[in-house]
Structure 1
């Protein structure tokens, strides 16, 4: 009896390993990216408490992923199918998909959110790069050649996540800082000025007068 119980206990499966999707990473709080999850990697998604999954390419998801999203009440937005059209230029992803995805990324009502493509590199990398353009990260002037951030319609301020700050807000803060730095100098200049008196600066000779042989203070020069 003891030997049979030991045999049964030795056959009991241990705790299952957690398989994380390839290239999974946190873009910002509530925003994740990865390659399309395989059936073995789908259970990991339960730990993210996702509201939305966005697929950026036409490839169909696995049955396990679709079953998981239905059971968990997750919105699966297959933009790679609904907005896909044949590529007519050098861009690896259509502007319509980039625009729609960024507008979802900036709406915290659909967070937590996961963006996926088959490899987790190309389309997701472009989306994250365009997001960094909107955030004003370095090399924005290079990335903006790929996508124009002015095309994005931002949600209402109450629906924008706290980690997002547009370039306009950054410019306003920089302007306020410069004005505050300039105020002390202006006050000192005002204290040193004497009211009622202005310093008159005599105009210097113009280039035309000098070249033409005329000096306003000495009259015309004679030609010997």
Structure 2
């Protein structure tokens, strides 16, 4: 492709080329079949994400999506949910339980799959969401907290408290469309 001074690579869709490496986003991992987590993807990650065939993206951050990410999701026909929520910070700031409940309803609906859940770095807000999902999956608290710590590094106390007191019984998901792994 030849670029002249009126055209930049940023304006061109990033398509998978033969022998082009597929680069996952920061902190990418499979949560359960059809559910993935990560930090905020960039253009370099789009060929990788395209291979996942995403139907839904859930973004947990106060910041807007990048224009590249918005364009990618529009081109791919991906449904987007942007939860403008802060992370847990002592003593008075807490992630929105309403947002977590709404996201869990979508995560537990196989019609939304495959789905990517992400925040800026894929650590704390997504760690809280995944921890609450694990409670619904009936994981032990020890296993939930171990998984959280693998992604979150040092900041843990407020998030672990949030996960511990979260009432998974109040999540009104549609059991007729729950994924097979639940």
Q: TM-score, normalised by structure 1?
A: 0.60
Asked if 1:70 is matched to 2:74, the reply is: yes
Q: Quick one: which of 45, 56, 60 aligns to 1:56?
A: 60
**Structure 1 runs of 4+ off > 6 angstroms?**
85-88, 140-143
Say which of 131, 142, 163 aligns to 2:181.
163
The TM-score with structure 2 as length reference comes to 0.73
Structure 1: unaligned runs, 5 residues or longer: 1-12, 165-224
Cα offset for 1:43? 2.2
The 5 Å alignment of 1:22-171 reads 22-80=26-84, 84=85, 90=92, 92-139=94-141, 145-155=164-174, 157-164=175-182
Structure 2 distance, partners of 1:86, 1:93, is 5
Distance 1:152 1:62 in 2: 30
8 A contact 1:39–1:62 mirrored in 2: no
CA deviations on 1:50-80 (whole Å, 9 max, x unpaired) are: 0000001111122111111111110111122
**Which structure has the higher relative contact order (CA within 8 Å, separation 6+)?**
2
Please, which moves more after superposition, 35-44 or 121-130? 35-44
Aligned counterparts of 1:87 and 1:137: Cα–Cα separation in 2: 22
Max Rg structure: 1
Is residue 59–residue 81 contact of structure 2 (8 Å, CA) maintained in 1? yes
Partner SS for 1:68: helix
Q: Take 2:122 and 2:88, find their aligned partners in 1: how far apart are those partners?
A: 20
Q: What is the Cα deviation at residue 16 of structure 1?
A: 2.5
Q: Counterparts of 2:172 and 2:107 in 1: how far apart (Å)?
A: 12
* Pair 139,90 (structure 1): closer, same or farther in 2 beyond 3 Å: farther
Mapped to 1, the partners of 2:171 and 2:30 lie a distance apart of 22
CA 1:86 to 1:162, structure 2 compared with 1: closer, same or farther past 3 Å?
A: closer
Distance in 2 (CA, whole Å) between partners of 1:79 and 1:49 is 22
Rounded Cα–Cα distance in structure 2 between residues aligned with 1:135 and 1:91: 27
**Contact 2:86–2:93 (8 Å) recurs in 1:** no
